[in-house]
Amino acid sequence: MSGVAGAVKQAYTAVTQSQKIADLQRNTVDPEKFAKDRTFTTDFGVAVSNTDDWLKAANSYGTGPSLLEDHIAREKIHRFDHERIPERVVHARGAAAHGVFKVYDDKASKYTSAGVLTDPSRTTPVFVRFSTVQGSRGSADTVRDVRGFATKFYTEEGNWDIVGNDIPIFFIQDAIKFPDIIHAVKPEPKNEVPQGQSAHNNFWDFVGLQPEATHMALWVMSDRGIPRSFRMMQGFGVNTYTLVNASGERFFVKFHWIPELGVHSLMWDEAMKLGGQDPDFHRKDLEEAINTGAYPKWQFGIQVIPEADEHNFEFDILDATKVWPEELVPLQVIGEMELNRTVDEYFPETEQVAFCTSHIVPGIGFSDDPLLQGRNFSYQDTQITRLGVNWEELPINRPVCPMLNTHRDGAMRHRIVDSNVNYWPNRKEHFRPVPVAHGGYNEHPQKVQGVKERMRGKKFQEHFNQATFFLNSLTPAERLHLTNGISFELSHCDDPVVYETYTRLLNNVDFDFAKDVATIVGGIVPKTHARENHGKSTPTLSQTYYHPKVPTIKSRRIAILVGDGFDLAQVQALRAAFKAGSATTWLIGPNRGPVYPEGVAQGDVKNGVLADHQYEGQRSTAFDAVVIPAGMKSAQALARNGRAVHWVREAFGHCKAIGAIGEGVAFVREAAQLPGVEYATNLDSHDVVSSYGVVTVGKVNLSSIAADVLKISQSD
């Protein structure tokens, strides 16, 4: 980390209270501080004596009709009846957190006059909401889907929103197709099936007939569609925006977020199981990381193209189904973001936050990207259905800078403007438009001339080059996952027309890939190439490219699996070592009660250790690694327990790190029988044997265990 970045890091630790948090606290009620006597009241403030029994015309048995005159009961029921608002038409399920954004220096002032991107002395508060796209509010977190990554920057010049995704491109090129792609991917109209899935006829029917969706469909079917954590995803603005510098020069720009922890995904089997075992896996993961101080971080990068170079690429830089290869347009990292505070209440913050692509600040502008142009209309419009016309006044949405204009009235208006004029011009000038020189938003002068027609640009007609580029850039493991992911989905389509059309289309991406998928799903296996593979690739599209330079276990969840008779000193040393690396540990025993270390009698509750969870209650899927410490009796008890054996076998199947010490090694070797793995065999030896992610050792030095754990966790 550069010196400047180091200084940024230090600044963060002081920021738990940003300007936006202070603003929100004007509306936050802390019951302990708010009402000294904690009086329960009606909405109009009158103390309530009974909130349990509806007023009744009671007979001698204590029963009788409930009276409509009970205004307290009526208020309670009325309020409840109207608690729901329409969920987002897409991205309904989400989780959010507060944080801060800083730039390292003023290097971006070459491109933009925006203070948020050029002034290193600023700490800009942010609110970030992550989401899935297809499912309803109550759907599972780990479904295969695109993830939303929407950031609201509360800047000194007003709110700036980057309403992005974890994938750099999109399914369609023109906003007018959005209702079609969303109708196709959402549950089918006849039976409202499936939920949180794209594995159905209508989705594959649409994308098979709309070749511009091919590139994006491959990304979603790859590991990118099943992230391990919101904290381990890249983020992309996707659309092409513009930057304008102080001299009035204009540049095209794409925005990028790069996670500190690297880009990691679940295995598909794991994602499906987690969907049932813990549907809230991702939102809990975000909360857990922040609560344990492992604050999620991203670097912020820009790709910039001078206005004059707009047409110098073989693809159209305004086409949102294309990436800008980093070999052609390098990524410039200019800042970073840290999320350091969970929400106090879900509904007023995460649910009521309203992002708009049209929220931009001076120095940032739009382009003619036809997807962006439509989005700029859609977001403002949808908030009116969701939240009502005064949605910008809600605490989470209002800017931290002063906001004043002639907009008035409408349902649920909160502000009271003490001025008799609500029009411009007016004799009092309580508020007036500000010249550009003093900070007024400047529309960059752009020469526009054209023929009014419904059309697509010439370069927009090419749909397969970059899909092939993406496929070529994957590692063999990533490619295998993609083949399996797309095959899983296509084999859930029961209309042959659908999977036959799609497998035929895949031949335009790559002949061998199309053959593999078509063979698995019973589609059209091509006999000849539809198009030659151009052979181009880049390391930057594989998620392995983003693994941290120094591997880290920060925020990783590690299960320590024990039975009675485990080695307590070893477990304590392991826990301390993992904690020092900012990982969390969970002791998993036969019951969520005391588990008895070696030398402690069964039932000696005082000397037992409380297990955090039990084998049945938590599965290997929720953890990144599992360790089995020494202890003969413990190892034997684990070997006798089918669920414990399954724990280790399942973790191995999902390519997780597995550690075992002393007798724990025997358990893993004999009971779990992991195929192809080599083990440490000498219980008196300190030699570490590492094979297929299984790390075993006969003996450990408790005093050096922290250094050993670090060494092992930093090796590949």
Active site residues: 91, 165
Among 54, 315, 379, 586, binds ligand HDE (CB under 6 A): 379
Please tell me the distance from the alpha carbon of residue 352 to that of residue 395, in angstroms, as a whole number.
9
* Residue found by looking up tokens 């590139």 in the block: 215
Which residue, 139 or 621, has its beta carbon nearer to ligand HDE? 139
The encoded tokens of residue 182 equal 């969303």
Q: In this complex, which beta carbon is closest to ligand HDE, that of residue 163 or of residue 524?
A: 163
Task: Kindly tell me which of 85 and 655 has the beta carbon lying closer to ligand HDE.
Answer: 85
324 binds ligand HDE (CB under 6 A): no
Angle at which helices 201-209 and 496-506 pack, to 10 degrees? 40
Asked if 387 and 381 count as a contact pair (C-beta separation under 8 A), the reply is no
362 near ligand HDE, judged by CB under 6 A:
no
Site membership for ligand HDE, residue 359 (CB under 6 A): no
- Examine residue 348 and tell whether it contacts ligand HDE (CB under 6 A): no
**221, 144 in Cβ contact below 8 A?**
yes
Q: Which one, of 513, 511, 490, lies nearest residue 502 by Cα?
A: 490
The window from 161-169, 258-266, 539-547, 703-711 that contacts ligand HDE (CB under 6 A) reads 161-169
Of 92, 614, 555, the C-alpha closest to 284 is 555
Nearer to ligand HDE, 172 or 289 (CB): 172
Site string for ligand HDE, 173-202 (x = CB under 6 A): --x--x------------------------
Nearer to ligand HDE, 90 or 290 (CB): 90
Among 111, 153, 170, 470, binds ligand HDE (CB under 6 A): 170
Site string for ligand HDE, 47-86 (x = CB under 6 A): ----------------------------------------
Adjacent-strand bridge partners of 235: 257
382 binds ligand HDE per the rule CB under 6 A: yes
Measure the CA–CA gap between 379 and 371, rounded to whole angstroms: 12
With contact defined as beta carbons under 8 Å apart, do 111 and 124 qualify?
no
* Element at 334 (helix H, strand E): strand 331-342
Q: Which of 108, 238, 263, 697 binds ligand HDE (CB under 6 A)?
A: 238
Residue 98 binding ligand HDE, by CB under 6 A: no
Nearest CB to ligand HDE, comparing residues 175 and 518: 175
User: Which range, of 28-36, 264-272, 372-380, 486-494, touches ligand HDE by CB under 6 A?
Assistant: 372-380
Least distance in Å: CB of 533 to ligand HDE? 27
The dihedral over CA atoms of 428, 433, 434, 436, expressed in degrees to the nearest 10, equals -160
Whether the CA torsion 449, 454, 458, 464 is positive or negative: it is positive
Q: How many residues bind ligand HDE (CB under 6 A)?
A: 26
> What's the CA gap between 285 and 229, in Å, rounded?
7
Assess 152 for contact with ligand HDE (CB under 6 A): no
- Kindly provide the b/e burial profile for residues 27-37, where b requires at least 16 CB atoms within 10 angstroms of the residue's own CB: eeeeeeeeeee
- Smallest gap from Cβ 378 to ligand HDE, in A, equals 4
Could you say whether residue 231 binds ligand HDE (CB under 6 A)?
no
CB of 474: closest distance to ligand HDE in angstroms? 22
Instruction: From 351, 321, 606, 624, select the one nearest 461 (Cα to Cα).
Output: 321
Rounded Cα gap, residues 20 and 579, in angstroms: 32
User: By C-beta, is 322 or 515 nearer to ligand HDE?
Assistant: 322
CB closer to ligand HDE out of 170 and 647: 170
Minimum CB separation of residue 304 from ligand HDE in Å reads: 18
Instruction: Give the nearest residue (CB) to ligand HDE.
Output: 148
Rule CB under 6 A: choose which of 55, 73, 89, 331 binds ligand HDE.
Answer: 89
Q: Rule CB under 6 A: choose which of 12, 21, 94, 173 binds ligand HDE.
A: 94
CA contacts within 13 A on the Cβ side of 401 = 11
Tell me whether residue 167 or residue 660 sits nearer to ligand HDE (CB atom): 167
Query: Interface with ligand HDE includes 374 (CB under 6 A)?
Result: yes
Among 163, 220, 553, 560, binds ligand HDE (CB under 6 A): 163
The one-letter code for the residue type at 518 is A
Contact by Cβ (8 Å): 225, 473: no
As measured in angstroms, the least distance from the Cβ of 171 to ligand HDE is: 8
Examine residue 388 and tell whether it contacts ligand HDE (CB under 6 A).
no
Cβ proximity to ligand HDE, 321 vs 696, nearer residue = 321
Q: Does 165 contact ligand HDE by CB under 6 A?
A: yes
Residue 346 in contact with ligand HDE, rule: CB under 6 A? no
Q: Check residue 91 for interaction with ligand HDE (CB under 6 A).
A: yes
User: Which amino acid would we find at residue 178?
Assistant: F
What's the min distance (Å) between Cβ of 174 and ligand HDE?
8
Q: How far apart are CA 325 and CA 473, in angstroms?
A: 11
Closest approach, Cβ 379 to ligand HDE, in A, equals: 4
Q: Of 595, 625, 612, whose CA–CA distance to 695 is shortest? A: 625
379 is in an annotated binding site: yes
Pick 239 or 265: Cβ nearer ligand HDE: 239
Question: What is the residue-wise DSSP string for 253-278?
Answer: EEEEEEETT---B--HHHHHHHHHH-
Which residue bears the tokens 């749909």? 463
Q: Is the peptide bond before 597 cis (omega within 30 degrees of 0)?
A: no
Select the span of 64-72, 74-82, 163-171, 654-662 touching ligand HDE (CB under 6 A): 163-171
Residue (of 614, 615, 596, 613) closest to 605 by Cα position: 596
Pick from 631, 707, 619, 623: nearest CA to 665: 631
**Which residue's entry shows tokens 């009235």?**
409
CB of 644 to ligand HDE, least distance (A): 40
> Which whole-number Å values give the CA distances from 61 to 57, 286, 388, 447, 561, in the listed order?
11, 53, 48, 84, 57
Residues in the chain: 716
* Cα(370)–Cα(137) distance, integer angstroms: 29
| Residue ranges in 304-323 that form contacts with ligand HDE under rule CB under 6 A | 320
Q: Which of 160, 204, 355, 623 touches ligand HDE (CB under 6 A)?
A: 355
Amino acid of residue 18: S
- Tell me if 148 contacts ligand HDE by CB under 6 A: yes
Query: Is 371 near ligand HDE (CB under 6 A)?
Result: yes
The least distance separating ligand HDE from the CB of residue 206, rounded to whole angstroms, comes to 14
38-46, 257-265, 369-377, 630-638 -> range binding ligand HDE (CB under 6 A): 369-377
Report how far residue 465's alpha carbon sits from residue 531's, in angstroms, rounded to the nearest whole number.
Answer: 10
Q: Which of 410, 444, 366, 423 is nearest to 163 (CA)?
A: 366
Taking CB under 6 A as the rule, does residue 654 contact ligand HDE?
A: no
* Contact indicator for 203, 150 with CB cutoff of 8 Å: no
Q: Is the dihedral of CA 346, 352, 355, 359 positive or negative?
A: negative
What residues are designated binding site? 379
What residues are designated binding site for heme? 379
Which residues of this chain interact with ligand HDE, rule CB under 6 A?
88-91, 94, 129, 131, 148, 150, 163-165, 170, 175, 178, 238-239, 320, 354-355, 371, 374-375, 378-379, 382
